[in-house]
Homo-oligomer: A and B are copies of this chain.
Amino acid sequence: MNRVEAVSGGIAVRKLLVRRAVGRVLEISAMSLAVLVALVAPAAAQEIDSGHTAWILTSTALVLFMTLPGLALFYGGLVRTRNVLSVLMHCFTIACLISVLWLVIAYSLAFADGTGWVGGFSKAFLGGVGTDSASGAIPETVFFMFQMTFAIITPALIVGAFPERVKFGPMLTFCGIWLIVVYAPVCHWIWGGGWLAEMGVLDFAGGLVVHATAGSSALVFAIVLGRRRGFPNELSPPHSPGLVMIGAAMLWVGWFGFNAGSALAADGNAGMAMTVTHLSAAMASLTWMAIEWIRFGKPSLVGIVTGMVAGLATITPASGFVGPIGGVVIGFVAGLVCFYAVQLVKHALKVDDSLDVFAVHGVGGITGILLVSFFGDPSLGGLGLAEGKTMASQLGVQAVGTIAVLVWSVVASFVILKALDLIVGLRVSEEDETTGLDLATHGERGYNI
């Protein structure tokens, strides 16, 4: 596998494919002019590969499907009946708001040429991008859309931290600001050719960019917002485990686009990424189920699908670098680590990160980021670490990246939230919380059966 590719999912493949085109031209320098022409012509025509494009178009649909309705149902089923619609509403409005902001400015900040810290404004409103603009072997509009779906699901993940008590407007405002202040820069650092990319941080599909940023910010949100009334003693069980499972299943399927799509091509790398992604999800699910079975005597549906999400979040950064066995091992670790992380955060620290965003996504994503250093190494069946990196040095780089991302996410989120809390307030009234946000905030009821 091309070393450069290892640098990151986003830009690497683009570079790689350009290189291929060039390469093809060089190889044949010895041939007759006629043949040269014969070969260059198609090569140029091949610039945009319809097969790779078809797969990324599909992946874009799959990743959007993860948020709408996947994640929305996964979260919606976990809350109480009287708040189910508000959760769906959160995910839906975030998707809409982020999409527009992504066009206006965020895409440019993440992927336009700029400093090592943040991209420039040249691509604001997709400036200079037309139907013929290419990003590697695919049209840039397709790359733009694919990346947008990542930008959508990341703040949507945070929804799990504040259900049943957050004020609608401020919540939406937070997500908008957060996209620009936290997501876009971090995305640039790692996938936009920024300083962490230069350093050789490996994050194939978003262990840091997506899960660490969302997970840590979710923890901050839960702390600043405070616990739900009655937490933790008068907990209500998920109002619809079936809905949770439906959402989870959609997440699993959609994740194929998330990870295998991050190869930005329909090739062997995509195939291997899909394979390890699937195996990790399966193994983590079985692990979580086993723990519940042993500890409580009853393996639960909500439990096993939580394990699945843990497995998927954990393999995400590693999905382009490890082999099948690495995928299985990572899945096992994911189930184990995240299960106990949930116990720690919720039952030991008593933080009401209501739907365990940090314990599952944050902890999972970081675990995956660190494990890449080992299972990405050919000696452990991996496809290769960053250029010239050993397990140790790679681990060091991964740690630096993790710390940088966590610090920035936590600090920025804290500031934004405190500001919003002072200005407009983050939390609904006790009465609204009791009534439930569906009726209080949105004037609807979940089930008029």
Q: How far is the CB of A70 from chain B (nearest CB, A)?
A: 8
Contact status of A301 and B92, CB under 8 A, knowing A100-B279, A443-B296: yes
Which of A51-59, A197-205, A362-370, A386-394 faces chain B?
Answer: A51-59
> How many identical chains are in the complex?
3
Shortest Cβ distance from A305 into B: residue = B92
Contact indicator B54/A301 (Cβ below 8 Å): no
Task: Tell whether, in the assembled complex, residue B99 and residue A278 are in contact, meaning their CB atoms are under 8 Å apart.
Answer: yes
Which range holds the interface residue count of chain A? 35 or more
Chain B residues closer than 8 Å to A249, beta-carbon distance: 65, 68-69, 72, 92
**CA of A394 to CA of B193 in the docked complex: distance in angstroms?**
44
Majority DSSP secondary structure for residues of A touching B:
helix
1/0 per residue, CB under 8 A from B, across A13-53: the answer is 00000000000100110011011011101100100111111
Bound-state CA distance A92–B285 (Å) is 9
- Minimum C-beta distance from A24 to chain B (A): 8
Which residues from chain B contact A81 at a C-beta distance below 8 Å?
448-449
For A69, list chain B residues within 8 Å (CB). Answer: 245-246, 249-250
Residue of B nearest to A65 (CB): B253
Contact mask A307-331 → B, CB, 8 Å, 1/0? 0100000000000000111001000
Question: Contacting A50 at CB < 8 Å: which of B1, B144, B265, B296?
Answer: B265
A184 is an interface residue with CB less than 8 A from chain B: no
By a CB distance below 8 angstroms, the chain B residues around A61 are 58, 62, 253, 256-257
CA distance A344 to B24 in the complex (A): 62
B328→A103 contact, CB < 8 A: yes
If the complex has contacts A88-B242, A299-B168, are A266 and B131 also in contact, measured as CB distance less than 8 A? Answer: no
A443 touches B298 (CB 8 A): yes
Given contacts A99-B279, A131-B272, contact A444 B49 (CB under 8 A): no
B64 touches A252 (CB 8 A): yes
Asked if A130 lies at the interface with its beta carbon under 8 angstroms from chain B, I say yes
Tell me which residues from 385 to 443 in chain A have a Cβ below 8 Å from any Cβ of chain B. 441-443
User: Which residues of B lie under 8 Å from residue A45 when comparing CB positions?
Assistant: 24
Alpha-carbon distance between A326 and B157 when the two chains are bound, in angstroms? 30
Nearest-CB residue, chain B, relative to A277: B145
**Which segment, of A220-228, A231-239, A351-359, faces chain B?**
A231-239
Q: B242 and A85: CB pair below 8 A? A: yes
B-side contacts of A100, CB under 8 Å: 279, 282-283, 286, 328
Chain B residues near A192 (CB, 8 Å)? none
In the complex, A380 has a CB within 8 A of chain B: no
- Which residues of B sit under 8 angstroms from A140, Cβ to Cβ? 271
Q: Chain B residues near A28 (CB, 8 Å)? A: 37, 41
Asked whether A48 and B268 contact (CB < 8 A) given A88-B245, A145-B278, the answer is yes
Q: For the complex, what is the distance from the CA of A1 to the CA of B125, rounded to whole Å? A: 21
Give the distance in Å from the alpha carbon of A243 to the alpha carbon of B446 in the complex.
9
With an 8 A cutoff between CB atoms, is A122 at the interface?
Answer: no
24 A-B pairs in the complex with CB atoms less than 8 angstroms apart = A34-B35, A35-B38, A50-B52, A57-B266, A57-B270, A58-B61, A64-B253, A64-B256, A68-B253, A85-B301, A88-B242, A89-B304, A93-B286, A130-B268, A131-B268, A134-B268, A145-B278, A238-B444, A240-B448, A241-B444, A242-B243, A298-B442, A299-B442, A302-B444
Inter-chain pairs besides A39-B41, A131-B268, A300-B444, 5 sampled, C-beta below 8 Å? A69-B246, A69-B249, A93-B285, A96-B304, A301-B444
- What is A's interface to B at a CB cutoff of 8 Å? 1, 24, 27-28, 31-32, 34-35, 37-39, 41-42, 45, 48-55, 57-58, 60-62, 64-65, 68-69, 72-73, 76, 80-81, 84-85, 88-89, 92-93, 95-97, 99-100, 103, 125-126, 130-134, 138-142, 144-145, 148, 168, 236-243, 245-246, 249-250, 252-253, 256-257, 260, 265-272, 274-275, 278-279, 281-283, 285-286, 289, 296, 298-302, 304-305, 308, 323-325, 328, 383, 441-449
